[in-house]
Amino acid sequence: MTGRTPMEGRQITKRGGPDQVDGLLVVDKAAGMTSHDVVGRCRRIVGQRRIGHAGTLDPGATGVLLVGLGRATRLMRYVSELRKVYTGEVVLGRATTTLDDEGETVAIWDMSDVTASDVANAAAKFLGPIEQVPPMVSAIKVDGRRLHELARQGIEVERAPRPVTIYDIEALPTDEPGVFRLDVECSSGTYVRSLAADIGTALGGGAHLRRLRRKSIGPFDEGVAAGLDVLEHDWRSLLRTPAEMVGHLERAIADASTASAISHGKPLDRAALGVDGDGPWAVVDESGELLAVYESGRTTLRAAVVLSAR
């Protein structure tokens, strides 16, 4: 299941109204649902409107999807920027309109002579900083319109390459000829579909991706993710607090006087929080509850997100 234990002694934050809950759910998305579908189900399960997600997954993909509740939706940018780990399968010899197995075939090659060593070497060429052209079937906006909306109308537009980073990549043979398991650790914004297609091109032919699964986003991995059926019955015990949500940020503890200033979103000097470096900092009170996230300003620290507003 999830490996989580009930939240004994842990606070579920309810600010902004008696029924609003603030926190994070780590969802294991099933295939066949959009990320928007997951948010809709979570709204019904939790019973509130203010819910959003970080890191869209394609309908055919499965795995970790982070869903923020209440004011915690304002913290989503701090988790969406985290590294992600994926696994999937590269199928050589067929290119599709969507770069995965849900699209229509656009070209076929005989790549039966490609070896496992060839694929591993081709994949290794993408290690490090690279530039990717986003697929037409994606949620990116060009001139105010999402690419997938244009693609449905048969329109293809110029897309500027985007910088991403591949931190680790491995392509391993499977029992199926011409199919290779692809394991990738990458930066936010990486399209694994594009990576699979580019590997096919590098091998002198083409390829598409299937069975994509996101295994983790930062510290939130599939071992602690729960399916919607589990959340339906026990979401409260699986809810992570806002402080846990940004637990990867450097922490600063505010005393009562500083906490009062934070509640009004006032700038602070570094001495008030006792911090060094570039930040950002997750600022908590003496009980460990998240008050705000502060970032470096020109001369002081500025409040980027305040959860403790009075």
- Residues designated as active site: 58
Phi, psi at residue 297, to the nearest 5°? -105, -170
Beta strands in the chain (DSSP E): 23-29, 51-54, 62-69, 84-92, 94-96, 105-108, 128-132, 141-142, 145-146, 162-173, 179-186, 207-217, 220-221, 250-253, 281-284, 290-296, 301-306
User: From CA 195, how far away is CA 213, in angstroms rounded?
Assistant: 14
Q: Are 271 and 303 in contact (CB under 8 A)?
A: no
CA 54 to mean position of chain CA atoms:
5
**295 bridge partner residues:** 302
Q: Is 208 helix (H, G, I), strand (E, B) or coil?
A: strand
CB neighbours of 17 closer than 8 A, spacing ≥ 6? none
Sign for the CA dihedral angle at 191, 127, 54, 226 comes to positive
Listed residue (122, 110, 95, 89) closest to 202, CA to CA? 122
Which residue has 């399960």 as its token pair? 45
Q: How many CB atoms lie within 10 A of CB 287?
A: 8
Sign for the CA dihedral angle at 270, 274, 278, 281 comes to negative
Q: Are 202 and 63 in contact (CB under 8 A)?
A: no
